[in-house]
Homo-oligomer: A and B are copies of this chain.
Amino acid sequence: MKNIYVQELKQVPVEKQKVEIVERKGIGHPDTLADGIAESMSRALSREYIKRFGVVLHHNTDETQIVAGKSKPAFGGGEIIQPIFILLVGRATKEFEGTWIPTDKIALKAAKDYIRRAMANLNPDEDVVFDVRIGEGSTDLQDVFMRRSGKAPHANDTSFGIGFAPFTETEKLVYNVERKIYNEFRKEEKAIGEDVKVMGLREGDKITLTIACAMVDRYLDSLKDYIAVKESLTKWVKEIVTEYTSREVEVNVNTADDYERGCVYITVTGTSAECGDDGSVGRGNRCNGLITPYRPMSMEASAGKNPMNHVGKIYNILANFIARDCYENIEGIEEVYVKILSQIGKPINEPRALDIQIIPKKGYDVKKMEKKAVEIAEDWLDNITKITDMVINGEVDVF
């Protein structure tokens, strides 16, 4: 009915392959910062549209461009010499049913609020110069009518989404190391910036974590302080990795440092965007929070796309949800991949194809999993607008 296919996938699960590479760009990385801003604009616009008209109107704000500034960091506290420039880009419905919506102002405010929330030492009013170039998008009246009566909107494009479950140990490791540095270690150690990039390389049973962590200069009086924080971070990471793996883990932090030449990774604001690193939406983490070159990936930038009919966003989220639910609720799955292809102009709950590919555990038969898997997929398709709500309410991350 709904073009759902379940099949066995014959390949070595990633966990059992010899080599694995996984990367996560942390919240303060310029690309992730762009993602975060893009997504916050879309959420703010969605909420405003709902408040005024009861439905989300057409918009896409998935093209923020961050142009690096210039800084002179220094132990004890340096300076931003030239502010970061952030161009907010997209389309949005600016007039509807006789009312003007202050889209540019909403977008600007959302971007600034996001920076304030996400970054401890970056002041959006002083360290950043913004420009807003949000074009006029047009909302299809018929579409609004349909959605007001609770029907699924039509796909905006021919596009596909991809998801998988479960995470391998290396994936869990890379994801959680960044998350915990941001949420826990940074709270205790103020010198830790938000621009933390974690690269995981597994060679057989040996995992090497290479962490690039921007430090904040004002909380470090000297090189000695810097080295101490670096060692403290290394030690802390070594401790938490045991929660995720029993494999041997090597942890390297800021490997490009060269103390003699005075090359250390200190910043004024906690992000390399302050000096030399530009950032752009959709160039970093996929919507599951990781870059996984050994896994199939979608090139779609989820962040900033409208959560209502943009299949480039919804299908990626949906595919991950279906994969996760299959893995958690069906016995015998080693790995599962979900791929969904849209048909432009058709309701988004009627995809062109929804492929569930399962690598079964030894002794399990994919055939027997089919019914359950189809049920899970159908259930999600029947409730697809729930994803819109979850995105708007901030209950699902997309980067």
Binary B-proximity of A101-128 (CB < 8 A = 1, otherwise 0): 1101100110010000000000001110
A281 → B minimal CB distance (Å): 7
Query: Which residues in B have their C-beta under 8 angstroms from that of A82?
Result: 102, 104-105
Query: Which residues in B have their C-beta under 8 angstroms from that of A291?
Result: 299
Kindly state the separation between the CA atoms of A268 and B132 in the bound complex, as whole angstroms.
Answer: 20
Query: Which residues in B have their C-beta under 8 angstroms from that of A276?
Result: 91, 135, 137
**B109 & A65 in contact (Cβ 8 Å cutoff):** no
Of the candidates B63, B201, B293, the one whose C-beta lies within 8 Å of that of A65 is B63
Copies of this chain present in the complex amount to: 4
Query: Which residues in B have their C-beta under 8 angstroms from that of A343?
Result: 255
**B19 & A5 in contact (Cβ 8 Å cutoff):** yes
A residues contacting the other copy or chain, number (CB 8 A):
82
Q: Which of A19, A102, A301 has the most chain B CB within a 10 Å cutoff? A: A102
Of the candidates B136, B201, B279, the one whose C-beta lies within 8 Å of that of A70 is B136
**A256, CB-defined interface residue at 8 Å:** yes
Residues of A120-156 at the interface with B, using a CB-CB cut-off of 8 Å, are: 125-127, 129-133, 135-137
Kindly state the separation between the CA atoms of A184 and B284 in the bound complex, as whole angstroms.
Answer: 36
**A298, CB-defined interface residue at 8 Å:** yes
A274 → B minimal CB distance (Å): 11
**A67 & B201 in contact (Cβ 8 Å cutoff):** no
**B12 & A7 in contact (Cβ 8 Å cutoff):** no
Query: Which residues in B have their C-beta under 8 angstroms from that of A126?
Result: 105, 108-109
Query: Which residues in B have their C-beta under 8 angstroms from that of A297?
Result: 293, 297, 299
- Residue on B nearest A90 in the bound complex, by CB: B278
**A344, CB-defined interface residue at 8 Å:** yes
A169 → B minimal CB distance (Å): 19
- Residue on B nearest A7 in the bound complex, by CB: B18
Query: Which residues in B have their C-beta under 8 angstroms from that of A294?
Result: 296, 339
A contact set with B: CB distance below 8 Å: 5, 7, 9-12, 18-19, 21, 62-63, 65, 67-68, 70, 72, 79-83, 85, 87, 89-91, 94, 100-102, 104-105, 108-109, 112, 125-127, 129-133, 135-137, 158, 160, 162, 199, 201, 203, 210, 212, 255-256, 276, 278-284, 286, 291, 293-299, 301, 339, 341, 343-345, 352-353, 355
Q: List 23 A-B contacts (CB under 8 A).
A: A5-B18, A11-B12, A19-B339, A19-B353, A21-B160, A63-B67, A65-B65, A65-B89, A67-B135, A70-B136, A79-B102, A79-B105, A83-B108, A108-B129, A112-B125, A129-B131, A130-B130, A158-B212, A256-B344, A280-B280, A293-B297, A293-B298, A293-B299
**Among all A-B residue pairs, the 3 with the closest Cβ atoms:** A11-B11, A65-B65, A63-B278
A83-B105, A282-B283, A295-B296 given; 20 more Cβ-contact pairs under 8 Å: A5-B19, A9-B12, A10-B11, A19-B339, A63-B278, A63-B279, A81-B101, A81-B102, A83-B104, A83-B108, A85-B133, A90-B278, A105-B126, A108-B129, A109-B126, A112-B125, A158-B212, A162-B293, A201-B341, A283-B301
